[in-house]
Amino acid sequence: MLRSVVRGCGSYLPERIVTNAELAQRVDTSDEWIVQRTGIHQRHVAAEGETTSMIGLKAARAALADAGMDASEIDLIVVATATPDHTFPATATQIQAELGITEGAAFDLQAVCSGFVFGLATADKFLRSGAARAALVIGAETFSRILDWEDRATCVLFGDGAGAVVLKAEEGGGTLADRGVLTTHIRSDGRFKNKLYVDGGAGSTKTVGFLRMEGKEVFRHAVVKLAETVQHTFSETGLSGRDIDWFVPHQANRRIIDATADKLGISHDRVVVTVDRHGNTSAASIPLALAEAHRDGRIQPGQLVLIEAMGGGFTWGSALIRW
């Protein structure tokens, strides 16, 4: 059977770093409050004119270089983003054009913070069915553009950035020993729309809007739903938290990450954490963390990597990958 094997991974963070101390000059908050509640110390913010497609392109180029592959080999681009350059065309087609690709398909996918897991699950289906040969799955966000910088409850949480993986369809034996994406689980439940949303849009207000969130409610749902989606992976594969080499969760909040790892029986030294330096970069957070741990040699070929995320909608999901 065909498997979607990770051939490369790359990321990009905008140059400008905004510390908690800088935010404390703008809104009534403190470094102590932010660190204690979220684990976030700083975040990157895109420069004026630096768009989601620009940072996504940099991550994509880094992933292709890591894979040692040429852009012409890619016949599917999925960009997970809630902050596209324009309402249309898709950010993915902009990146496709910049890469000089004129074959295959490129489209955006909207599942907010779960976007990368949804994108990986989607690309995996294309590759395993033989509909595509090699895919770029990109998570790229400029959440700084949809933040209400006067709302201390949300503006301290998010950051900008992009990450990408190159997946290639390769023959596998159909067992858990195969390299590649082994299982994916994605879920949505639109009843929770009002817990986390943007209060504008092309089809309603004709504006972009600002992010709004009931933080406590999101927190409560996150720990339950994230553990539930991973339990599906465990029951399907017969694996447990002890079998996971690296847990790379969506980076929203250090307390959510720790509580989820504890629930799943995954020791904290097996968890990749970037939220302290990146904040919550939505769909970009997992590929940013994957790229960091891949680059610094923590994640090694053949190891089992578990990813999970939850985001607005609600949407949530997980994937198990043998690197």
Asked if 38 interacts with ligand ACO (CB under 6 A), we say yes
Angle value at C-alpha 286, between 280 and 291, nearest 5 degrees: 115
Annotated active-site residue in 250, 253, 278, 294: 250
Number of chain positions touching ligand ACO (CB under 6 A)? 23
Residue 155 C-beta: closest distance to ligand ACO, Å: 8
Distance CA 22, CA 6 (A): 38
Give the contact letters, 234-253, x = binds to ligand ACO (CB under 6 A), - = no. ----------------x-xx
Question: What DSSP assignment string belongs to 86-104?
Answer: SSSS-HHHHHHHHTT--SS
Residue 95 CA to residue 115 CA, distance in Å, equals: 17
The yes-or-no answer on residue 113 being catalytic is: yes
Closer to ligand ACO at the Cβ: 113 or 135? 113
**Nearest distance in Å: CB 25, ligand ACO:** 13
Q: Is 9 a catalytic residue?
A: no
The percent of the chain in helix, strand and coil, each rounded to the nearest 5, is 40, 25, 30
Does 231 interact with ligand ACO (rule: CB under 6 A)?
A: no
Tell me the window of 26-34, 120-128, 137-145, 168-176 that interacts with ligand ACO (CB under 6 A).
26-34
Q: Does the annotation count 185 as an active-site position? A: no
Cβ-count burial 97-136 (b if 16+ within 10 Å, e if not): ebbebeebebbbbbbbbbbbbbbbbbbbebbbeeebbbbb
Q: Which residues are catalytic?
A: 113, 250, 280
Enumerate binding residues for ligand ACO (CB under 6 A): 29, 33-34, 37-38, 113, 152-153, 156-157, 196, 213, 215-216, 218-219, 222, 250, 252-253, 280, 310-311
